[in-house]
Chain A
Amino acid sequence: MLAGVIHQIMSGIATGGIYASVALALVMIYQATHHVNFAQGEMATFSTYIALTFINAGFPYWIAFTAAVVVSFAIGVAIERVLMRPLANAPILASVGVFVGLLLIVNSLSGWFFDYTIKQFPTPFPDRPMLGGYLSGHELGSTAVTLIVLLSVYLFFRHTRLGLAMRAAAFNATSSRLVGVRVGWMLALGWGLAAAIGAVAGCMVAPIVFLDPNMMSGILLYAFAGALLGGIDNPLGAVLGGFAVGIIENLGGAYLVGTELKLTLALAIIVMVLTIKPTGLMGRKVYSRV
């Protein structure tokens, strides 16, 4: 029994890492635009197809992986520059409409370019049990990759000039302009980073759930639940929330509701957070005095 619980928690952390990455991508765009990018999941799926295309063309795994991350970054930047920029001062419904449209467009493009059949996606990690059988090689490897990504993003935002400028642009665009920060480009960079993080998440989850155009739709829900649970305006909260949702999902699926109803847990978390504590557990309290 205890071994089973530990096993579920470990797998929960592994899948939670994926949710945490996508949740972080959601938060990054939310902080800058105050909208949730519904297309984040489909963009990640598309990125995974890019990686698969490179792999099928004969490139080594990590080259293909890096190429997918770089191309996704460029696509993210392009989406902000071309689609989002004209909407900077648009009413909220217009933005939501564009996000939903983007979701449908990217989903259809994935199906059109790469067809709708379910595909296998390779893992670069050894296919044998690790840590005394609690985790598969892929689970352990993908958790490590996720943690490296999250840590790098944290260090980037905390300790670099550009990271600080990006945070500033998200918090207060006018003040940022007045100190010389090129706010438009900071938003575009944010989209690029979110898309790149999504690409990593997609490549790490695809060997487990297999690749098809709707691969990320469920994952986006878990990630959204994680982001809300931690606080949609708090990157650290969202990451912890993502891990928490992964663990809750695995434990709940094994002992509570069964695997069929796991997604319901995510929805239940979303509803609970929104009704009980809309700012999330770690939602930022902004102090202001006059």
Chain B
Amino acid sequence: MRSPFTRRGGQERVTNLLEAKGLHAAYGETRVLHGIDFAVRQGGVTALLGANGAGKTTTLRAICGLVRTTGTMTLDGKRIDAMATEDIVRLGVAHVPEGRGTFMELTVEENMRLGAYTRPAREATADFEHMFDYFPRLKERYKQQAGTLSGGEQQMLAIVRALLLRPRLLLLDEPSFGLAPLIVQEIFRILARIRQDAGVSILLVEQNAAIALEFAEDAYLLETGRIVMAGSSADISKDEGVRRSYLGY
């Protein structure tokens, strides 16, 4: 098993933005993660693959302190595993949650203001125009109730909400979920641009393994709460088992 901890070791010093070691998580009595190790490289994109119920969403929720965990997690060397969600967010971790987490009753504008809640208001407003460059459709919908947006637009709004935090680490939970293939392509094209512009590191959870492996450099395969494979996306795409079970060819 290769992992980013050791990759390229030697010639180039690799720093990990996020590192988790021996991470366990549970909802009440139900244990979901059984001691997993993973990392997201500074400026890198890491994909977390696996079937329904493997623990992908729980992993993201664990990073944000939304589920009870044991084990250690560090962000840029700083322990975050015992911190409150609100404080982890202030360190620059933005989470686009499962189901998008839209504030349905509020307007698009208010959703965006909330995304920038931890930053000075003036600075954030300047960022709004920048966001409309990426997602012009949100500009048209600016004053509209967010609940009236289409699924794709809500996904865009969720990404914008997360980006307005000026995150160092972006956690994306199934951005392709429930969207038409064309919209999914559009969203990933924009994510690639954002990644270049903002230099943000990304941890991506996807059921659509083909898209995820194309977008990410590193990947982990999660099965019932354990990591069963880790390595570069290129290597993992070549794996016979992964191809058959997750890529379907």
B66 contacts A179, C-beta separation under 8 Å? no
Q: Smallest distance from the beta carbon of A202 to chain B beta carbons, Å?
A: 30
A171 contacts B104, C-beta separation under 8 Å? yes
Please indicate the chain A residues that have their CB under 8 angstroms from the CB of B178 in the complex: 290
A177–B103 CA distance with the chains assembled, in angstroms: 12
Please indicate the chain B residues that have their CB under 8 angstroms from the CB of A182 in the complex: 86
Please indicate the chain B residues that have their CB under 8 angstroms from the CB of A128 in the complex: none
Among candidates A164, A287, A288, residue contacting B110 with C-beta atoms closer than 8 Å: A164
Interface-located stretch among B17-25, B29-37, B50-58, B114-122? B114-122
B121 contacts A284, C-beta separation under 8 Å? no
* A interface residues, how many (CB within 8 angstroms): 23
* B interface residues, how many (CB within 8 angstroms): 32
Is A57 close to B, CB under 8 A? no
B113 contacts A289, C-beta separation under 8 Å? no
Is A56 close to B, CB under 8 A? no
Among candidates B101, B113, B118, residue contacting A174 with C-beta atoms closer than 8 Å: B101
**Nearest-neighbor residue (CB-CB) of A233 within chain B:** B105
**Which of B102, B103, B147 counts the most A-chain CB atoms under 10 A from its CB?**
B103
Please indicate the chain B residues that have their CB under 8 angstroms from the CB of A284 in the complex: 105
Q: A161-B113, A161-B117, A180-B165 are in contact. Are A168 and B103 (CB under 8 A)?
A: yes
A164–B113 CA distance with the chains assembled, in angstroms: 9
Is B168 close to A, CB under 8 A? no
Chain B stretch 70-96: residues in CB contact (< 8 A) with chain A: 85-86, 89-90, 94-95
Please indicate the chain B residues that have their CB under 8 angstroms from the CB of A288 in the complex: 104, 147
Is A66 close to B, CB under 8 A? no
B145 contacts A168, C-beta separation under 8 Å? no
B105 contacts A171, C-beta separation under 8 Å? yes
A167–B149 CA distance with the chains assembled, in angstroms: 20
Among candidates A181, A286, A287, residue contacting B114 with C-beta atoms closer than 8 Å: A181
B105 contacts A179, C-beta separation under 8 Å? no
Among candidates B89, B110, B145, B149, residue contacting A180 with C-beta atoms closer than 8 Å: B89
A178 contacts B89, C-beta separation under 8 Å? yes
Is A176 close to B, CB under 8 A? yes
B103 contacts A171, C-beta separation under 8 Å? yes
Please indicate the chain B residues that have their CB under 8 angstroms from the CB of A175 in the complex: 97, 101-103, 114
Is A71 close to B, CB under 8 A? no
A172 contacts B165, C-beta separation under 8 Å? no
A171 contacts B106, C-beta separation under 8 Å? yes
Among candidates B106, B147, B149, residue contacting A168 with C-beta atoms closer than 8 Å: B106
Chain A stretch 136-151: residues in CB contact (< 8 A) with chain B: none
Among candidates B86, B106, B148, B151, residue contacting A177 with C-beta atoms closer than 8 Å: B86
Q: A179-B115, A289-B148 are in contact. Are A172 and B86 (CB under 8 A)?
A: no
**Nearest-neighbor residue (CB-CB) of A185 within chain B:** B86
Chain A stretch 251-290: residues in CB contact (< 8 A) with chain B: 284, 286-290
Is A165 close to B, CB under 8 A? yes
Q: Smallest distance from the beta carbon of B109 to chain A beta carbons, Å?
A: 10
Is B161 close to A, CB under 8 A? yes
Among candidates A164, A176, A178, A286, residue contacting B147 with C-beta atoms closer than 8 Å: A286
Among candidates A179, A287, A290, residue contacting B118 with C-beta atoms closer than 8 Å: A179
Among candidates A167, A174, A183, residue contacting B106 with C-beta atoms closer than 8 Å: A167
**Which of B64, B86, B150 counts the most A-chain CB atoms under 10 A from its CB?**
B86
Q: Smallest distance from the beta carbon of B73 to chain A beta carbons, Å?
A: 16
B117 contacts A290, C-beta separation under 8 Å? no
A122–B152 CA distance with the chains assembled, in angstroms: 59
B165 contacts A179, C-beta separation under 8 Å? yes
Please indicate the chain A residues that have their CB under 8 angstroms from the CB of B102 in the complex: 175
A147–B188 CA distance with the chains assembled, in angstroms: 50
A182–B114 CA distance with the chains assembled, in angstroms: 12
Additional A-B contact list (12), CB under 8 Å, known A178-B101, A180-B118: A161-B117, A165-B117, A168-B103, A168-B110, A174-B101, A177-B85, A178-B85, A178-B89, A178-B97, A179-B165, A181-B86, A290-B178
Some 13 contacts from A to B, beta carbons below 8 A apart, are: A161-B121, A167-B106, A168-B114, A174-B97, A177-B66, A178-B97, A179-B115, A181-B86, A284-B105, A287-B145, A289-B148, A289-B150, A289-B154
What is B's interface to A at a CB cutoff of 8 Å? 64, 66, 85-86, 89-90, 94-95, 97, 101-106, 110, 113-115, 117-118, 121, 145, 147-151, 154, 161, 165, 178
